């Protein structure tokens, strides 16, 4: 009987996109970081028949059907798939993409075949049709800068990736009763968003390639934190028509100001939110910040999660 497999996938913080609304140019693109604080875990067990169970069963089933329609998928031995741990859905952590990618990668390992590259993962998972940060982050971890895709490309190419220092920490701050845009609401929003100006795209590319990326590679925490804030604030301007401004809500915008005023320079919103993230140079610094957060008068309105940067992407292990 085959051994069971565990796929552990990092969560994704999306700092923002470079461009959209210009169909003949590269669409979307952007930058983000993969983190280990709220990982997604998929378990694959031997079974007498194929089965997808648990809260993510419907999503797993759709990916399983696409895999089983391939030449290699038709010879798979039956298995039972279940997501046993995951971050909250629709809060900006990319759990849907990581689930779908984990199913494809896990079934590939179940078949004892070599891992797929980005294109194959995207095709079978049905993901990365806009942002490819989560796709490339699943494979590589760390800071991801992806270029966006041209009209003839199905997947945006990876522009650059860099590991973040092991000592750096993120604190996620997520309102307990809120969700970001997803599904049909997100598709409708992108259909009506105004095009990103070339000047703003130039500014975002400069911040990503000339500030975020070099700072990550040399371990310049102050430079990276400041660049992450300014990148997120600039990227948020692309979505002002569907948010309360640069951030998802006015309370989140005030919270960003409060955090910056407290001396924490690196703060931003992941994707549509409502999750905010803060950056800290060490675990001790992050713990001190969490202790300060506990004294906020509205602390009970938020979930707080401590996370390190993921340094290598998803892992697949036999158990």
Q: What number of other Cβ atoms are within 10 A of residue 58's Cβ?
A: 8
The tens digit of pLDDT for each residue in 117-168 reads 999 999 999 999 899 999 999 999 999 999 999 999 999 999 999 999 999 9
| Residues 13 and 132 reside in one and the same domain | yes
What confidence score (pLDDT) does residue 242 get?
87
| Residues 20 and 157 reside in one and the same domain | yes
What confidence score (pLDDT) does residue 241 get?
86
Is the distance from CB of 91 to CB of 177 less than 8 angstroms? no
Residue 17's CATH number: 3.30.230.10
| Residues 148 and 292 reside in one and the same domain | no
DSSP H or E run through 8:
strand 5-16
What confidence score (pLDDT) does residue 181 get?
80
Which pTM does this prediction carry? Answer: 0.95
| Residues 54 and 132 reside in one and the same domain | yes
| Residues 10 and 142 reside in one and the same domain | yes
| Residues 202 and 299 reside in one and the same domain | yes
Closest among 10, 9, 14, 12 to 236, alpha carbons compared: 14
What confidence score (pLDDT) does residue 37 get?
85
Positions in the chain whose pLDDT score sits under 70? 1
Residue 275's CATH number: 3.30.70.890
What confidence score (pLDDT) does residue 38 get?
84
Gyration radius (Cα) of the chain, Å = 19
User: What's the CA gap between 224 and 212, in Å, rounded?
Assistant: 5
What confidence score (pLDDT) does residue 98 get?
97
| Residues 136 and 267 reside in one and the same domain | no
User: What's the CA gap between 311 and 48, in Å, rounded?
Assistant: 36
| Residues 123 and 17 reside in one and the same domain | yes
What is the span of the domain harbouring residue 257?
Answer: 169-308
| Residues 30 and 113 reside in one and the same domain | yes
| Residues 132 and 244 reside in one and the same domain | no
Q: For the chain, what is the domain count?
A: 2
| Residues 150 and 258 reside in one and the same domain | no
In a 3-state reduction of DSSP, which class is residue 15? strand
DSSP H or E run through 35:
strand 30-46
| Residues 229 and 201 reside in one and the same domain | yes
Distances (CA, A) of 100 to 21, 107, 237, 238, 277: 27, 11, 30, 27, 24
């Amino acid at each position: 009987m085959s051994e069971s497999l565990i796929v552990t996938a990092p969560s994704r913080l999306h700092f923002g996109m470079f461009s959209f609304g210009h169909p003949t140019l590269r669409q979307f693109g952007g930058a983000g970081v993969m983190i280990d604080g709220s990982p997604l875990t998929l378990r694959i067990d031997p079974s007498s028949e194929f089965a997808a169970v648990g809260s993510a069963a419907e999503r797993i089933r759709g990916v399983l059907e696409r895999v089983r329609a391939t030449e290699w998928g038709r010879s798979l031995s039956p298995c039972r798939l279940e997501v046993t741990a995951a971050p909250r859905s629709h809060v900006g952590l990319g759990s849907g993409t990581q689930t779908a990618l984990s199913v494809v990668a896990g079934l590939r390992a179940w078949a004892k075949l070599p891992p797929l590259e980005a294109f194959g993962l995207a095709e079978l998972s049905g993901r990365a049709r806009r942002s490819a940060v989560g796709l490339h982050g699943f494979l590589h971890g760390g800071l991801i800068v992806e270029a966006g895709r041209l009209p003839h490309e199905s997947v945006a190419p990876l522009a650059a990736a860099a590991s973040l220092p092991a000592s750096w920490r993120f604190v996620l701050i997520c309102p307990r009763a809120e969700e970001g845009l997803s599904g049909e609401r997100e598709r409708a929003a992108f259909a009506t968003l105004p095009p990103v100006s070339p000047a703003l795209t130039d500014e975002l590319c400069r911040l990503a390639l000339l500030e975020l990326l070099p700072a990550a590679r040399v371990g310049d925490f102050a430079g990276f934190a400041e660049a992450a804030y300014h990148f997120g604030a600039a990227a948020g301007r692309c979505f002002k028509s569907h948010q309360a401004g640069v951030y998802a809500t006015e309370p989140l915008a005030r919270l960003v100001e409060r955090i910056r005023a407290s001396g924490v320079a690196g703060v931003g919103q992941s994707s549509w939110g409502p999750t905010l993230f803060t950056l800290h140079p060490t675990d001790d610094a992050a713990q001190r910040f969490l202790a300060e957060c506990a004294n906020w008068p509205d602390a009970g309105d938020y979930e707080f999660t401590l996370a390190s940067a993921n340094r290598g992407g998803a892992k697949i292990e036999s158990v």
